[in-house]
Amino acid sequence: MSKHKISCIRCLLRDLDQKAALKQVTAYRERLPVQQRANKELFEERLSICRDCKWLRLGVCQKSGYYVEASAYDKTKHCPLGTKIW
Ligand code: SF4
């Protein structure tokens, strides 16, 4: 049995063994002003859309270049495909 975790292409950082990147994202989220932070429901809704999106690769949106766990947490940010997506 392989010792390496197999990553799916549409994984979020929290599903991957990418501790440094996740730490960076967490620090970014903590620096956001409270009023700019998405609540848990909005954040998870956005991430569930990203999980099914062909542009998600290893936690990064290939359209925006952002870690989706960072951008989805910021209420002022939107999906680069349009605000109807999120
Ligand atoms: S932000 Fe939009 S384009 Fe990027 S992965 Fe999420 S749903 Fe897809």
Q: Residue 4 has what pLDDT?
A: 52
Q: Residue 6 has what pLDDT?
A: 57
Whether ligand 1 lies within 6 angstroms of the CB of 81 is answered as yes
Residues in a beta bridge with 67: 60
Q: What is the DSSP letter of 73?
A: T
CB neighbourhood size of 60 (10 A): 18
CA dist 22 and 67 (Å) reads: 9
pLDDT in tens, the chain (86 residues): 445 555 666 777 777 777 778 888 888 999 999 999 999 999 999 999 999 999 999 889 999 999 999 999 999 999 999 999 99
Q: Whose CA is nearest to atom 1 of ligand 1?
A: 79
CA dist 75 and 86 (Å) reads: 10
Amino acid in position 73? Y
> Given the CA of residue 56, which atom of ligand 1 is nearest to it?
5
CA dist 16 and 2 (Å) reads: 16
Whether ligand 1 lies within 6 angstroms of the CB of 43 is answered as no
Q: Whose CA is nearest to atom 6 of ligand 1?
A: 50
Q: Residue 13 has what pLDDT?
A: 77
Instruction: Give the 3-state secondary structure of residue 37.
Output: strand
Q: Residue 81 has what pLDDT?
A: 98
